[in-house]
């Protein structure tokens, strides 16, 4: 399968898709500062993943078509992780986001132009909330009009082996027939236990607000006493639930 990663950033989604065996032709993003990092991703033939410095509004049909030459019958995936700030409950300035909530619909327009075989969309759970507008419903309606079958659900990364509790709305769509999201693999009474961060990364414990003197980027946010107590309670409750 071939893929194109829209809103690719530094390449987190590209890296995961490559690891899953999908050949990512290129990534597209309007942030030039991520290019050097993004191009460290390597395609199956060893070549660097191509970075296209463009906002999605400016991506033309010819831009995409030029990368699909010689594709043959290989299935094509369009992946998109649009900016989540317009849909998050965190204290972001929603007014300052401008029309960024509509960027997901610009992605839908790319899907409409090229009708890839598969579509993958990831965002925060809030994208589904009506208080942030009708973007998600518009996405679903657009996919229906294009005759995609799809499945979507809020998934937690820890249920699939990620050493972090990270809830995200995941949508996958197919023009080749029915499609469904995978079932969780990690957690109590499942194939594998949860993967704790201290085990996955083998980092030594540090206190809240500390920065490790020799391990780069190993730092912890400063937490208030009440938040520390909340975490302690959550750890105890989680342990009781797992037993």
What pLDDT digit, counting tens, does each position of 194-213 carry? 988 777 878 888 899 999 99
Cβ distance 48 to 39 under 8 Å? yes
Among 15, 26, 84, 211, the one annotated catalytic: 84
Q: Which residue has the higher pLDDT, 242 or 80?
A: 80
Which CATH code for domain 2-174? 3.40.50.150
Angle at 178 between CA 172 and CA 182, to 5 degrees: 50
Q: Which residues contact 235 (CB under 8 A, 6 or more apart)?
A: none
Cβ distance 111 to 138 under 8 Å? no
8 counts as catalytic:
no
Domain ranges of the chain: 2-174, 203-242
pTM here is 0.82
Backbone conformation region of residue 4, classed left if phi is above 0, alpha if psi is from -120 to 50, else beta: beta
What pLDDT digit, counting tens, does each position of 46-86 carry? 999 999 999 999 999 999 998 888 888 899 999 999 888 76
What pLDDT digit, counting tens, does each position of 138-185 carry? 999 999 999 999 999 999 999 999 998 899 999 999 999 999 999 999
Backbone conformation region of residue 109, classed left if phi is above 0, alpha if psi is from -120 to 50, else beta: alpha
Q: What's the DSSP call for residue 216?
A: T
């Amino acid at each position: 399968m071939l893929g194109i990663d829209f809103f690719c950033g530094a390449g987190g989604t590209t890296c995961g898709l490559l690891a899953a065996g999908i050949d990512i032709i290129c990534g597209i993003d309007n942030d030039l500062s991520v290019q050097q990092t993004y191009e460290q991703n390597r395609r199956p033939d060893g070549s660097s993943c191509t970075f296209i410095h463009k906002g999605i509004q400016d991506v033309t049909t010819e831009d995409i078509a030029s990368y699909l030459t010689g594709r043959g019958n290989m299935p094509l995936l369009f992946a998109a992780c649009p900016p989540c700030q317009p849909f998050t409950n965190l204290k972001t300035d929603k007014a300052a986001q401008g029309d960024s909530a509509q960027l997901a619909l610009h992605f839908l327009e790319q899907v409409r132009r090229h009708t890839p075989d598969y579509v993958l969309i990831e965002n925060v759970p809030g994208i589904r909330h009506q208080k942030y507008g009708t973007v998600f419903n518009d996405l679903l309606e657009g996919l229906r009009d294009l005759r995609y079958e799809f499945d979507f659900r809020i998934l937690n990364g820890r249920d699939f082996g990620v050493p972090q509790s990270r809830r995200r709305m995941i949508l996958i769509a197919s023009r080749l027939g029915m499609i469904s999201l995978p079932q969780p693999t990690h957690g109590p009474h499942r194939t594998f236990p949860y993967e704790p961060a201290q085990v996955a990364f083998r980092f030594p414990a540090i206190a809240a607000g500390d920065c490790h003197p020799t391990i780069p980027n190993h730092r912890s946010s400063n937490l208030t006493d009440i938040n520390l107590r909340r975490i302690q309670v959550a750890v105890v409750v989680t342990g009781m639930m797992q037993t």
